[in-house]
Chain A
């Protein structure tokens, strides 16, 4: 299972600059706060510079020697020191908390943007991508970004201030000694960049591997019962082994190189210090500098190189944050559903007339599965679509609802082309019950009322009664307020289906789509539903895809599909008389 098709999602070209630019756009939203933080940073740095100098003064007072110390001035400085330290600690707490806030806001916004994006993506995106991999971007990647952001950015800002300050001091002491930093700083920068080229792709791979792992885990856990039933636990665990080993491998590889950066930059700085010592003492021999100057130059160059060291350490985290951001942005860059045309009409007061005009379509442009389909449906008619499995029945639904757009041809509702109206109003014209029923974690009430905001209890109960699930719901421990677990928990498929049928009942639409909707409901119940459905659908257009031919005998029009083409159409009677494909299909259900 190693060469599963999800591998294609990995290893796409990396666009670091673009990623940084987009990240900056996000960050700039908080520029005012960041400016404030910057000011606070400078303030706290200045304070921290005062501390040692005050301590120095206090020590000078003490230096008077035994019995001669002036305690009133020592106390003066000591009090000052306490004041500065307390305010500096408070400041640094405030800065940390602000940045932590900003980081979480940023994460919150990114997670929100990802979700907004998901809502705009075409259905085909979800058919192609694994839920686990998409989720990994929210749970892992964005987490990496925010953590890195709230801790690293403060450090960088503090460091920039310190580096700037120290450089000024160093220049004041001895511009010639500063020349040495012209060797070491570029060396450090060069090294970091070179290592970055090695580690960045590794961090990208690592992120991608985590996505892959998440996808696999999610898929296998969804099939938990099947895996148990086939005693397949070990085999699955072995497959997971390979993916896990891969993920661990890339974790190791990226850290293997990443974790050399810190010590190496540390070394370069120490090299600089030694050089300053040597060069400085030459200058001292030629009476160019004093001993005290060397001493304080070293102190400042330590202050100068410390942050550079820190930044090198941070680089590692930044790389992994960048890799994560890239994955998030790649999702945000996915092509959205084609927007509604300008001046798209809002489909109002739908009558329910549907016309399919020379429609052809294939999920894969090279593989057309619906050829030149034509159909006219009058308001209130019931259209049954039958045919062997894989004949393209579900595809018609995908096109009616505009989950996919046809390669050529048009679908018109009430005479208006489906591309000329807003998607929302088009979809609102349909109510549907799909093959794969969907319930969410929430009360039974919420699940039924899902399609209609502000639905009253009476309406929901009426819909449940119509779907013949009311008595079942009443037997639940908390009735309509019973919370259905994730994935429907222990509700059977049939009950789930009845819930979604009730949902469709409540949803006021002119056109109804039933996609094998009743195939999991026992026939007694189904007949009751059919009766209720007929009442409700008296003036509504209805598309039914069903395999049980007994349920569609009263359809106004039956479409018989085979291999994407309509091979026959007509009413039950005319088709039976024709003794063609439909007749065979019909007869076969009584063979046992």
Chain B
């Protein structure tokens, strides 16, 4: 609720204006039955046409005024809701794309997506209604109570006791509704997740003819969603009829007490009759309030889900950095460009170590290849270097400075990187390479040429304007990788990281790529993770990893001589043709 208010507050002026309009409009609405009653009770019995027509016209004018006021108020409310939700969604999006890797994983992609969308729609609906129904209903309620108070205080007292009781109960149930709707939203996450898994894995599902199985799995989640939704609904359906009942019981009491008072000579029978009329008004107001409350519990559940993301504490503080005497005395060029200082790391506290005591350094302009079995921690090294995660022990240094001391964007701008599971966005190839950095056209084309992508791009009818489909579905695996390598090279980064980035390239292209990199990017510090020895054998240093540890490190020749694992891999890949 605080969250919703926070985003609506900036428009306090507009909101007050809209509320004033709505207030006047509601008063106008209240005045109409009053005028009508007056015409019928007082004017018509006079038997003259002129005053009837005049009063009738007054009523029409008031009705028109009411319409204009209400429309004005509604539109003002819509405009406030529009701007508030726009800013809310914007902030949420910014926050989400800026989440660290571990926090993003903790929330999970589908859940973050639905917070951005369906949760924001719930909040938006509430923002709109609270300004319209939320004003109208209380005014009608208070107005009705006020009028009845002027008629007979004792009788109105009965209503006045009923109303707080009723609001208390409704409020209580609404609060109960919040966790129920939170659960419904979480169930929705499950439904969306399964659907998403199927959309992405459709080929596998179809190949294995698993459609019936997937349908069962989905139906289970869908049914669970329905059950929880119905459960919430059954409880949230209570306030409406309950309110009606309370007020009607109150009314019955009014009739009874009224009869007593008439008998005692304290009131007129006509007053009881008038009570019936205003009572209807109050009932309507209460029903409207109920709708607001139901909407509130949904919106609150959603706002809380959004709030958790927005208020997620930045888990990767930028630590202050003062260069120690020794470091500052050393010239930058003499420092290692990249240095891992006895680094250990694990994903999650109860997981096993993914990296243990990683210790190495890499000089400016040097190149490092990392090789090792699947799951030995190669990618984790990159995750720590780029600070997607923080090391558990030890430090990661760039130019002698702890990576944790760099502002996030400054750190990331040093890199050009292609990840293992990297993606192409639904945009032109040019924009995929430029990636919002406003690079010069020459840079993009140079990078594409160096990444061996210029050839196939040139063959496309639209060239660089060729629109890549969602996740690059209209490009082959090798084409995608080359575009991503071009993206990494385009801004001439300080450090180039290629994590299994050429696995889909054929040998010819891969070889050309390597030659180009060596010739045109020799000043760039490069880390290359690969499965093929031929991709890394010419690099300055090669690190052989095994189960999260560095097994050995050295040049190709050194490793061939002393590292058994390296030799095995080499033999297996080069097979019988080592002498070529």
- Contact across chains for A59 and B258 when beta carbons are under 8 A apart: yes
Give chain B residues whose Cβ lies under 8 Å from the Cβ of A486. Answer: 108-110, 193, 196-197
User: Which residue in A263, A281, A387, A428 is a CB contact (below 8 Å) of B44?
Assistant: A281
Additional A-B contact list (8), CB under 8 Å, known A93-B240, A547-B506: A4-B427, A59-B272, A81-B255, A115-B195, A115-B198, A263-B71, A519-B503, A586-B507
Q: Is B478 an interface residue (CB 8 A)?
A: yes
CA distance A71 to B223 in the complex (A): 55
- Contact across chains for A100 and B108 when beta carbons are under 8 A apart: no
- Contact across chains for B470 and A123 when beta carbons are under 8 A apart: no
Distance (Å) between the CB of A493 and the closest chain B CB? 5
Residues of A197-241 whose CB lies within 8 A of B: 210, 213-215, 217-233, 235-237, 239-241
List 13 A–B pairs whose Cβ atoms lie within 8 Å, in order of A's numbering: A59-B258, A71-B259, A138-B191, A143-B118, A210-B117, A210-B121, A225-B101, A227-B97, A230-B412, A267-B67, A273-B32, A388-B509, A492-B379
- Contact across chains for A438 and B201 when beta carbons are under 8 A apart: yes
Q: Is B264 an interface residue (CB 8 A)?
A: yes
User: Which residue in B96, B249, B478 is a CB contact (below 8 Å) of A390?
Assistant: B478
Q: Which stretch from A105-113, A161-169, A354-362, A457-465 is at the chain B interface?
A: A105-113
Q: Which stretch from A21-29, A33-41, A246-254 is at the chain B interface?
A: A246-254
CA distance A584 to B251 in the complex (A): 96
- Contact across chains for B90 and A100 when beta carbons are under 8 A apart: no
Q: Is B52 an interface residue (CB 8 A)?
A: yes
Residues of B71-95 whose CB lies within 8 A of A: 71, 74-75, 77-79, 81-83, 85-86, 89-90, 93-94
Q: Is A134 an interface residue (CB 8 A)?
A: yes
- Contact across chains for A140 and B230 when beta carbons are under 8 A apart: no
User: Which residue in A115, A427, A494, A586 is a CB contact (below 8 Å) of B218?
Assistant: A115
- Residues A135 and B196 in contact in the complex (CB < 8 Å), given A222-B423, A244-B90: yes
- Contact across chains for A516 and B97 when beta carbons are under 8 A apart: no
- Contact across chains for B94 and A233 when beta carbons are under 8 A apart: yes
Distance (Å) between the CB of A51 and the closest chain B CB? 7
- Contact across chains for B423 and A453 when beta carbons are under 8 A apart: no
B196, B511, B580 pick with most chain A CB within 10 angstroms? B196
Q: Is A507 an interface residue (CB 8 A)?
A: yes
Q: Is B314 an interface residue (CB 8 A)?
A: no
- Contact across chains for B192 and A85 when beta carbons are under 8 A apart: no
- Residues A427 and B207 in contact in the complex (CB < 8 Å), given A100-B234, A388-B506: yes
Give chain A residues whose Cβ lies under 8 Å from the Cβ of B408. Answer: 228, 231
Q: Is A172 an interface residue (CB 8 A)?
A: no
Q: Which stretch from A291-299, A373-381, A411-419, A536-544 is at the chain B interface?
A: A291-299
Distance (Å) between the CB of B151 and the closest chain A CB? 14
Give chain A residues whose Cβ lies under 8 Å from the Cβ of B426. Answer: 4-6, 130, 219
CA distance A209 to B293 in the complex (A): 28
- Contact across chains for B507 and A585 when beta carbons are under 8 A apart: yes
CA distance A497 to B503 in the complex (A): 13
Give chain B residues whose Cβ lies under 8 Å from the Cβ of A63. Answer: 262, 269
Distance (Å) between the CB of A97 and the closest chain B CB? 5
- Contact across chains for B511 and A291 when beta carbons are under 8 A apart: no
- Contact across chains for B244 and A74 when beta carbons are under 8 A apart: no
Q: Is B104 an interface residue (CB 8 A)?
A: yes
Q: Is A495 an interface residue (CB 8 A)?
A: yes
CA distance A294 to B108 in the complex (A): 66
Q: Is A481 an interface residue (CB 8 A)?
A: no
Q: Is B219 an interface residue (CB 8 A)?
A: yes
- Residues A489 and B105 in contact in the complex (CB < 8 Å), given A6-B426, A277-B44, A592-B538: yes
Give chain B residues whose Cβ lies under 8 Å from the Cβ of A298. Answer: 36, 40
User: Which residue in A270, A436, A516 is a CB contact (below 8 Å) of B60?
Assistant: A270
User: Which residue in B66, B105, B208, B574 is a CB contact (below 8 Å) of A266?
Assistant: B66
CA distance A313 to B387 in the complex (A): 53
- Contact across chains for B117 and A213 when beta carbons are under 8 A apart: yes
Give chain B residues whose Cβ lies under 8 Å from the Cβ of A571. Answer: none
CA distance A418 to B269 in the complex (A): 88
CA distance A68 to B259 in the complex (A): 10
B29, B374, B415 pick with most chain A CB within 10 angstroms? B374
- Residues A592 and B44 in contact in the complex (CB < 8 Å), given A547-B507, A550-B573: no
CA distance A394 to B476 in the complex (A): 8
Contact with B along A433-445 (1 / 0, CB 8 A): 0111010110000
Chain B residue, CB-CB nearest to A68 = B263
Residues of B200-243 whose CB lies within 8 A of A: 200-211, 213-215, 218-219, 222-223, 225-226, 229-230, 233-234, 237-238, 240-242
Q: How many residues of A contact B (CB 8 A)?
A: 189
- Residues A128 and B469 in contact in the complex (CB < 8 Å), given A115-B195, A522-B372: yes
- Residues A118 and B195 in contact in the complex (CB < 8 Å), given A85-B248, A390-B476: yes
CA distance A244 to B258 in the complex (A): 58
- Contact across chains for A590 and B537 when beta carbons are under 8 A apart: no
Distance (Å) between the CB of A113 and the closest chain B CB? 11
Q: Is B519 an interface residue (CB 8 A)?
A: no
Q: Which stretch from B2-10, B138-146, B336-344, B430-438 is at the chain A interface?
A: B430-438
Chain A residue, CB-CB nearest to B116 = A217
- Contact across chains for B504 and A475 when beta carbons are under 8 A apart: no
Distance (Å) between the CB of A139 and the closest chain B CB? 5
Chain B interface size, under 10 / 10 to 19 / 20 to 34 / 35 or more? 35 or more
Contact with B along A117-140 (1 / 0, CB 8 A): 011100100111111101110111
Residues of A294-316 whose CB lies within 8 A of B: 294-295, 298
- Residues A494 and B374 in contact in the complex (CB < 8 Å), given A277-B39, A280-B44: yes
The 5 lowest CB-CB distance pairs between A and B, nearest first, are A389-B478, A235-B436, A494-B374, A589-B507, A66-B265
User: Which residue in B208, B218, B245, B580 is a CB contact (below 8 Å) of A450?
Assistant: B208
- Contact across chains for B255 and A591 when beta carbons are under 8 A apart: no
- Contact across chains for B374 and A525 when beta carbons are under 8 A apart: yes
Give chain A residues whose Cβ lies under 8 Å from the Cβ of B360. Answer: none
Give chain A residues whose Cβ lies under 8 Å from the Cβ of B147. Answer: none
- Residues A232 and B436 in contact in the complex (CB < 8 Å), given A59-B273, A69-B259, A486-B193: yes
- Contact across chains for A219 and B128 when beta carbons are under 8 A apart: no
CA distance A101 to B227 in the complex (A): 9
CA distance A487 to B197 in the complex (A): 8
Give chain B residues whose Cβ lies under 8 Å from the Cβ of A441. Answer: 193, 197
Q: Is B425 an interface residue (CB 8 A)?
A: yes
CA distance A389 to B485 in the complex (A): 15
CA distance A239 to B95 in the complex (A): 15
CA distance A68 to B260 in the complex (A): 10
Distance (Å) between the CB of A158 and the closest chain B CB? 12
- Contact across chains for A119 and B117 when beta carbons are under 8 A apart: no
Give chain B residues whose Cβ lies under 8 Å from the Cβ of A590. Answer: 507, 534, 574, 577, 580
Q: Is B541 an interface residue (CB 8 A)?
A: no
Distance (Å) between the CB of B245 and the closest chain A CB? 4
- Residues A62 and B74 in contact in the complex (CB < 8 Å), given A233-B98, A236-B97: no
- Residues A516 and B504 in contact in the complex (CB < 8 Å), given A62-B258, A270-B66: yes
Q: Is A274 an interface residue (CB 8 A)?
A: yes
Chain B residue, CB-CB nearest to A214 = B117
Give chain B residues whose Cβ lies under 8 Å from the Cβ of A526. Answer: 572
CA distance A280 to B200 in the complex (A): 69
Distance (Å) between the CB of B432 and the closest chain A CB? 10
- Contact across chains for A389 and B49 when beta carbons are under 8 A apart: no
Q: Is B1 an interface residue (CB 8 A)?
A: no
- Residues A82 and B252 in contact in the complex (CB < 8 Å), given A233-B98, A248-B86: yes
A104, A230, A259, A432 pick with most chain B CB within 10 angstroms? A230
Distance (Å) between the CB of A584 and the closest chain B CB? 7
- Contact across chains for A434 and B82 when beta carbons are under 8 A apart: no
CA distance A228 to B99 in the complex (A): 9
CA distance A450 to B121 in the complex (A): 36
Chain A residue, CB-CB nearest to B213 = A453
Chain B residue, CB-CB nearest to A264 = B67
- Contact across chains for B211 and A119 when beta carbons are under 8 A apart: yes
CA distance A89 to B456 in the complex (A): 72
Distance (Å) between the CB of B88 and the closest chain A CB? 10
- Contact across chains for A263 and B67 when beta carbons are under 8 A apart: yes
Chain B residue, CB-CB nearest to A111 = B222
CA distance A517 to B309 in the complex (A): 38
